Structure 1
Amino acid sequence: MEIIKLRHPYKQSEIPAERVVLVLGFFDGLHRGHKKVIETGRELAEKHQLKLAVMTFNQHPSIVFQKVLPENMRYLTSLEQKEKHMAELGVDYLYEVEFTSDFANLPPQNFVDQYIVDLNADYAVSGFDYTYGPKEIADIAHLPGYAKERFVIVTVPKEEEEGQKISSTRIREEMSKGNMEEVTDLLGYIYEIEGTVIHGDARGRLLGFPTANIKTKSTVRLPEEGVYVSELKVGDTWYPAMSSIGHNDTFGAGRELTVEVFILDFHRDIYGEQVAVRWNHHLRGQIAFNSAEALIEQLKQDELDTRAYFKKKTSK
């Protein structure tokens, strides 16, 4: 897959000459609904012997439209994760357009001319709710007027689960409740974050549960605070683990939010490693215990519950 980063206004020489099926969307989370849109594009590309291209943005449009600070955005997938998913889905060209004010202010006709027609699209594929400007003048219903029969418009209907639309918003809502099985079902894969192992205060080691402290970017969306059955990827290997998201309230109020991972039967030093964490199952919420001893007893139970989860999973 070739990644092509565009900043408005781009030069036509930056665009590959091949005719393409162009799939449009932001695709935060790359959930089952998004995959249906991309797979529709792939089927068209294979049928008509065209290249499959996807156009997305380097940041969420609300950073420009609603003046949200970039560091305050919380994404389900980083740009790097999105690139990995796109490659796995068979995308030939991934256009990452910088979502600047100049780009955001393009009139709908200019957007269609420059970012569909001039990207050599024979087909433009999107979800039913895709917009490319103010919704009242730049939704799917208005697209044929701007297209002027220069490309074929393919609109993918909404994907539903139990009568509800599968959406990034719904996934974020389920994450905020710790409903990770529901999140997994909507995404089509286990939710995953990336980070770096850093030195913590070593309190877990003193409690008998040494943890890897994971530093994540401020833009990473974390599940609800609590204790989870999880997995940690070190190198190319996933290890069963239990993880905590919280402020360690047992040891005082006002502490910084941390992500700590206790890896089952693991005894290596991994400080400084780039790792990933999967969030399989919510065990319990965060509790401020009356003593370290009470916390240790609960952690022992959490470990038993975690081992039971993986034993049940492997026996299926």
Structure 2
Amino acid sequence: MRIIRLTEPYDQTQIPNSDVVLAMGFFDGVHRGHQRVINVARKKAHNTHLPLAVLTFDIYPKIFFTDVTKDSMCYLTLNQEKIERMEALGVDILYIVTFDENLVYMPPQEFIDKYAVALRARYLVAGADFTYGPPAIATMPLLPEYAQGRFNIMCVNHLCDGGQKVSSTRIRQALATGQMTEANRLLGYHYQVHGKVVHGFQRGRELGFPTLNVLPWAQERIPGDGVYAVRVCLDGESTWYQGMASIGNNETFGNDLARTVEINLFNFNRQVYGRQVTVEWMYYLRPMIKFDGIDELICQLQADRARSRKLLASL
């Protein structure tokens, strides 16, 4: 897959000299709804013997229209994971467009001229709610006015699950409340978080449950507080280790403690400080609890481990 990064004003010589089927969207999470859009585009590309191109943006465009700042926005998939998932979906060319003030104020006609026509789209494929400017004047029903017959338009209807639209917003809400089964179903894969193993207080080791303390990548969305059954892969290795993770403030050990991500891996006793890890969040077990004593906590951890092993054994 060829990756082309475009920053306004971009150099036209960056654009391949071939017509393409072009799918557009931000695609945060590359969930089943997004996969549907890309699969429709891929089928058209196959039938017309054209390359499949996808255009996305480096940051969430709506940041410029909300109170959320660029640095505080949390994503389901950061750009590297998005790139990997696009490649797995069979994308030939991935355009990653820098979304800045130059695009915020760009009129819809200019955007279509520069990012559809100039990218040599013979077919433009997007979801029914895709916008390419202010929602009042840049919707899919209005796209033919800007296309001016220069390319064909394929509008992909929403994918529904349980009577509701599959959306990034819905997945974020599921993650925030620990609904991992729903989040993973809507994504079409197990949700992942990436991070670095750092030193902690080693309380888990003292309890007989040594943990990896993971510092997640900035701007990656973390599931809500609770205890989960997880799988972990160390960077550079292919083995997935089973375990259980906690997200929260560990109130049993005191008040006003920092929120942490701690993972107890089964049958694992290596020192891996400084290593990068990928965590797959499989099942939600229970909320975080402030225990009255250490013995009560250990008893609960033993139950959590047994339940996690049982759930993960079915994979």
Q: Which residue of 1 aligns with 2:64?
A: 64
> 8 Å contact 1:45–1:52 — kept in the other structure?
yes
> 8 Å contact 1:64–1:104 — kept in the other structure?
yes
Q: Which residue of 2 aligns with 1:210?
A: 210
Q: TM-score, normalization: structure 2?
A: 0.97
Is 2:244 aligned against 1:274?
Answer: no
Structure 2 residue identity aligned to 1:179: Q
Q: Which residue of 2 aligns with 1:77?
A: 77
SS of the residue corresponding to residue 278 of structure 1 reads strand
Q: Which residue of 2 aligns with 1:261?
A: 263
Percentage of matched positions with identical amino acids:
46
Output aligned runs, 1:280-291, within 5 Å: 280-291=282-293
Q: Which residue of 2 aligns with 1:110?
A: 110
Unaligned runs of 5+ residues in structure 1 are: none
Output aligned runs, 1:118-133, within 5 Å: 118-133=118-133
1:238 to 237, 240, 247: 240
Structure 1 residue identity aligned to 2:266: L
SS of the residue corresponding to residue 282 of structure 1 reads strand
Q: Which residue of 1 aligns with 2:4?
A: 4
In 2: Cα distance, 1:124 partner to 1:47 partner: 15
Q: Which residue of 1 aligns with 2:46?
A: 46
SS of the residue corresponding to residue 119 of structure 1 reads coil
Structure 2 residue identity aligned to 1:249: E
SS of the residue corresponding to residue 72 of structure 1 reads coil
In 2: Cα distance, 1:62 partner to 1:291 partner: 46
Q: State the 1:297 CA deviation.
A: 1.2
Is 2:304 aligned against 1:302?
Answer: yes
Q: State the 1:44 CA deviation.
A: 0.7
In 1: Cα distance, 2:141 partner to 2:273 partner: 53
Q: State the 1:67 CA deviation.
A: 5.1
Is 2:96 aligned against 1:96?
Answer: yes
In 2: Cα distance, 1:52 partner to 1:61 partner: 23
In 2: Cα distance, 1:254 partner to 1:218 partner: 22
In 1: Cα distance, 2:249 partner to 2:147 partner: 53
> 8 Å contact 1:64–1:99 — kept in the other structure?
no
Output aligned runs, 1:153-172, within 5 Å: 153-172=153-172
In 2: Cα distance, 1:45 partner to 1:293 partner: 61
Q: Which residue of 1 aligns with 2:226?
A: 226
Q: After superposition, what is the alpha-carbon deviation per residue over 1:61-108, rounded to whole angstroms, capped at 9, x for unaligned?
A: 133222532221110111110000000001111110011011111100
SS of the residue corresponding to residue 122 of structure 2 reads strand
Unaligned runs of 5+ residues in structure 2 are: none
In 2: Cα distance, 1:242 partner to 1:116 partner: 46
Q: Which residue of 2 aligns with 1:138?
A: 138
In 2: Cα distance, 1:118 partner to 1:68 partner: 32
Q: Which residue of 2 aligns with 1:25?
A: 25
Q: State the 1:282 CA deviation.
A: 0.6
Q: State the 1:272 CA deviation.
A: 1.1
